[in-house]
Copies of this chain bind each other. A is one copy, B any other.
Amino acid sequence: MKNKLKVYRAMFDFTQEDLAKKIGVSRQTINYIEKGKYAPSVLLALKLAYVFNCKVEDLFILENEDLKQEDSLIFQGGE
């Protein structure tokens, strides 16, 4: 899963700390999410999308890898 947090943050000219305060988390959390160290909760994701006035899908992008792995029979679609 990729994310465009850094880009959106730049568009709005927010520092990581600005953003952290806006959505009520620590600066490190923003940093870690931005660097892809972990995937936030959907609650956080929705708040981020709210702040940036965009969709969750604009910020967080599923990759094929995310769909393959699983036990899932449905996924591991095409190349």
Contact = CB atoms under 8 A, between A and B. Distances in A.
The size bracket of the interface on A is 20 to 34
Nearest to A24: B70
Identical copies of this chain, number: 2
B24 A42 contact: no
Contacts of A24: 69-72, 75
Interface of A: 1, 21-24, 39-47, 49-51, 55-57, 60, 62, 66-67, 69-75
18 contacts: A1-B42, A21-B71, A22-B73, A22-B74, A23-B72, A24-B70, A39-B41, A40-B41, A42-B42, A42-B44, A42-B56, A46-B62, A46-B66, A47-B66, A47-B67, A49-B57, A50-B62, A55-B57
